[in-house]
Amino acid sequence: MKGNRLRIFWLALILIAYGWRVYRLDYQSLWRDEVDAINFAVRDLPQTLGMFLQAAQNGPLYFLSLRPWFYVAGTSEFVLRYPSVMAGVLSVPLLWQVTRRLLPSPDLSGGAQPGERADRELVESTPAPRFPWLTIPLLAAVFMAANPYQVWYAQEGKMYATITFLALLASWFWLAGIFGGGWKPWLAYFLTVSATMYTHLLMVLLIPVHFVWFLLAWPRSRYQLRGYGLALAGLTLPYTPMVWWHWEMLTSPDRLTGFSFTPLDQMVRSLALSHARGFLTTVDSIWLAPVAFLFGAGLLLGITEIGARHDRSRPALAPWRRYALLLAWLVLPVVFIYLVSLRQPVFTERYVIWIGPAVALFMALGLQVVAHSSGRLAMPLVSALLLFLIGFWGYVGWQQKTLVIKYDLRSAVHYVSDQRTPDAVLILQIPHLEWAYRYYTSDYTFDAFQDSDRRLGWWAGGPYTNWRRSTAVEEVAVDTYMRSVTDGAGTVWAVLSEVEMWDARRLMDAWLDRHGVLEDQKPFPGVTVRRYRLLDSAP
């Protein structure tokens, strides 16, 4: 497959990846972090710029980049999520380019890698392809396009699809610098990693991952010691504002994060399930067996599918070293986050979504192992595995697009705002739901939160009761608080979501049940709306 056929294939794959990510983009309601992304982007500019210098402020560059886009297109759910769509789509061809540099194999293009000299860089010691059209770069790109976990975050208005793209881009520049040399790749690498750190704070881990890459690529990498060293030294400048809060986080005896500690085995299990079946938790484990088989085959035997590149003046990068680079990409981010979590828990699956390309690469290696090891059964086995995988991931992706998985704040807010009267007090538990209420009662323009105090009206946040005090003490505090915020009200609307974060013992609910009559209750996925008539105000 060369020339026009290759271009047609890539056009088709990119269009499919785009269509699959943009389809039903606004079906799921925004969850609270997505609403925060809009608020942080459109608020007064000095507040957003101030995040670059404030401790523990995550993603200031991401929010700043949304601002001009919102100014032009508004703040609808579709508009918020569209940049993630584009980051997810662009990651597909970018993974192809990264793979061509990282894991040499017979390539569809039949030519040298971009930025490499065709008369120097040769592919050697690579197994002859049983299916010339089925290369590791191509398979990895197809798996990246279809993976439901990647598709999910390409449909979310947060930075996770973006950091995957930026990690790929930084890796591509790193490989371009190591194999091609010159100052341009290292300047681009410096700029990309700097942007990545300010898109998500934990992406600072990309720096030690690439440093380990540099050690693993020795002695080939020593020819680029100056270029990489200067880029690494330059990264100390954008990292400087983060030093103090990172140090405080690692040395503080108090818990400064909202996460619970996750043991390493649970981290690995949750990551494996996420990358295998996305967010469809009802899938029977047996359906994951082919995914696990391909990944395991690539992990155990994939080194046999990797070639080496060499030129006349510099040593080849042996296949085992390239395999070690890929393994480091998969393992090190998880290990680093686990080590940090020993001091302050910071693990959640989406924070290491950028290992997803490495997962796709191991699965591509696994399919190549099957193709080269199955004799006459190779064609039916490879075809069956590919058809199953694409079909299974397509089914999971479809379920993610048709089932209500995120908390349905949109419907809950509309239900309340359509029926609530000005003399009724609104209680939001958790209080952070105020931003969802402000957003979903807006016109979705750039000034979506302007005049939102009027739309929010008479309201109060629910009481926080997770102080580890006795229930009797907390009940007294809740009674005092609730009498204060409902004074003069005859009707109370309560919107409840993620209540355990704020009131695990449901003491506010108990107070409302004692002092009011439940007149209406409407459940939504992840959200409950209740309307009470207070007894103290009854005639």
Summarize the confidence of residues 332-341 as an average pLDDT: 96
Q: Residue 296: is it exposed, middle or buried by C-beta count within 10 angstroms (0-12/13-18/19+)?
A: middle
What is the spatial distance between Cα 197 and Cα 207, in angstroms, rounded to a whole number? 9
Instruction: List the one residue out of 458, 467, 460 whose CA is nearest residue 503.
Output: 467
pLDDT band at 111, cuts 50/70/90?
very low
Reduced 3-state DSSP string for 141-161: HHHHHHCHHHHHHCCCCCCHH
pLDDT for 246: 75
Of 109-118, 199-208, 229-238, the one with minimum mean pLDDT is 109-118
pLDDT digits (tens, 9 = 90+) for 367-377: 999 998 988 89
pLDDT for 73: 97
**Helical axes 183-197 vs 206-216, angle rounded to 10°:** 150
DSSP letter at 47? H
Give every CB contact of residue 151 below 8 A, 6+ residues apart in sequence.
20, 21, 88, 278, 397, 400
Q: With H, G, I as helix, E, B as strand and everything else as coil, classify residue 309.
A: strand
Average pLDDT, the chain: 91
pLDDT for 536: 64
* Separation in Å, CA 72 to CA 49, 69, 199, 388, 442: 20, 5, 21, 42, 17
- The answer to whether residues 494 and 530 touch, using CB atoms and an 8 Å cutoff, is yes
Structure tokens, 143: 């798996």
Residue 122 predicted with pLDDT over 50: no
pLDDT for 74: 97
Of 162-171, 254-263, 428-437, 496-505, the one with minimum mean pLDDT is 254-263
pLDDT band at 132, cuts 50/70/90?
low
Residue 339 predicted with pLDDT over 90: yes
Q: Which position has the higher pLDDT, 312 or 8? A: 8
**Helical axes 206-216 vs 225-234, angle rounded to 10°:** 170
pLDDT digits (tens, 9 = 90+) for 395-428: 999 999 999 999 999 999 999 999 999 999 999 9
pLDDT digits (tens, 9 = 90+) for 238-292: 888 888 777 777 777 777 777 889 999 999 999 999 999 999 999 999 999 999 9
DSSP letter at 306? -
Residue 115 predicted with pLDDT over 60: no
pLDDT band at 307, cuts 50/70/90?
confident
- The answer to whether residues 235 and 194 touch, using CB atoms and an 8 Å cutoff, is yes
pLDDT band at 105, cuts 50/70/90?
low
- The answer to whether residues 346 and 257 touch, using CB atoms and an 8 Å cutoff, is yes
Residue 125 predicted with pLDDT over 50: no
What is the spatial distance between Cα 335 and Cα 343, in angstroms, rounded to a whole number? 13
Other CB atoms within a 10 A radius of the CB of residue 457 amount to 16
- The answer to whether residues 85 and 25 touch, using CB atoms and an 8 Å cutoff, is yes
Tell me the torsion sign for CA atoms 281, 287, 291, 292: positive
- The answer to whether residues 427 and 460 touch, using CB atoms and an 8 Å cutoff, is yes
pLDDT for 367: 96
* Separation in Å, CA 426 to CA 5, 23, 449, 511: 61, 35, 18, 15
pLDDT digits (tens, 9 = 90+) for 283-294: 999 999 999 999
Of 93-97, 109-113, 473-477, the one with minimum mean pLDDT is 109-113
pLDDT digits (tens, 9 = 90+) for 147-169: 999 999 999 999 999 999 999 99
Q: Which fold has domain 409-537?
A: Rossmann fold (3.40.50)
What is the spatial distance between Cα 224 and Cα 207, in angstroms, rounded to a whole number? 16
pLDDT band at 5, cuts 50/70/90?
confident
Q: Where do you find CATH 3.40.50 in the chain?
A: 409-537
pLDDT for 313: 57
Summarize the confidence of residues 317-339 as an average pLDDT: 96
pLDDT for 456: 96
What is the spatial distance between Cα 463 and Cα 496, in angstroms, rounded to a whole number? 12
pLDDT digits (tens, 9 = 90+) for 28-75: 999 999 999 999 999 999 999 988 877 777 889 999 999 999 999 999
pLDDT band at 538, cuts 50/70/90?
very low
Q: With H, G, I as helix, E, B as strand and everything else as coil, classify residue 310.
A: strand
Nearest-5° angle of CA 495, CA 498, CA 504?
105
Instruction: List the one residue out of 370, 371, 333 whose CA is nearest residue 352.
Output: 333
Q: What is the widest separation between alpha-carbon atoms in the chain?
A: 95
Buried b (16+ CB within 10 A) or exposed e, 143-174: bbbbbbbbbbbbbbbbbbbbbbbbbbbbbbbb
- The answer to whether residues 398 and 515 touch, using CB atoms and an 8 Å cutoff, is no
Residue 131 predicted with pLDDT over 70: no
Structure tokens, 112: 């040298």
pLDDT for 249: 74
- The answer to whether residues 115 and 8 touch, using CB atoms and an 8 Å cutoff, is no
pLDDT for 424: 96
Residue type, 88: G
Above pLDDT 90, what percent of the chain?
80
Summarize the confidence of residues 328-353 as an average pLDDT: 95
- The answer to whether residues 382 and 367 touch, using CB atoms and an 8 Å cutoff, is yes
- The answer to whether residues 60 and 198 touch, using CB atoms and an 8 Å cutoff, is yes
Residue type, 64: L
User: Does residue 219 have a cis peptide bond before it, meaning omega lies within 30 degrees of 0?
Assistant: yes
What is the spatial distance between Cα 493 and Cα 166, in angstroms, rounded to a whole number? 44
